[in-house]
Amino acid sequence: MPLFIPEPYLAALFVVPEHQGKGVGGALLELALKWLKEKGGRLITLETDPGSVAEGFYKNRGWEKTGMGEFGIQNVYVRQL
């Protein structure tokens, strides 16, 4: 779910386990990034759990870790469009 709150933010991207590893997540991510870019987004932020499958998913797609989130629980990642 891509949002502007007020800055571009990827709030959620989930794929049910039986469809993981089939390119569904990558396709959803590209659609979300395309939408954010069309709406003027240039630097996109997201937060994800340290050591999670999702963290590896984003790292492998060029997202850069910038630190920890507000509550010190999740890692913050950004990507330029």
Architecture of domain 2-80: 3-Layer(aba) Sandwich (3.40)
pLDDT tens, residue by residue, 8-55: 999 999 999 999 999 999 999 999 999 999 999 999 999 999 999 999
Backbone torsion region of residue 51, taken as left when φ is above 0, otherwise alpha when ψ lies between -120 and 50, otherwise beta? left
CB 48: neighbour CB atoms within 10 A? 22
Residue 13 tokens, joined: 């991207």
pTM, two decimal places? 0.91
**CA–CA dist 80, 54 (Å, integer):** 18
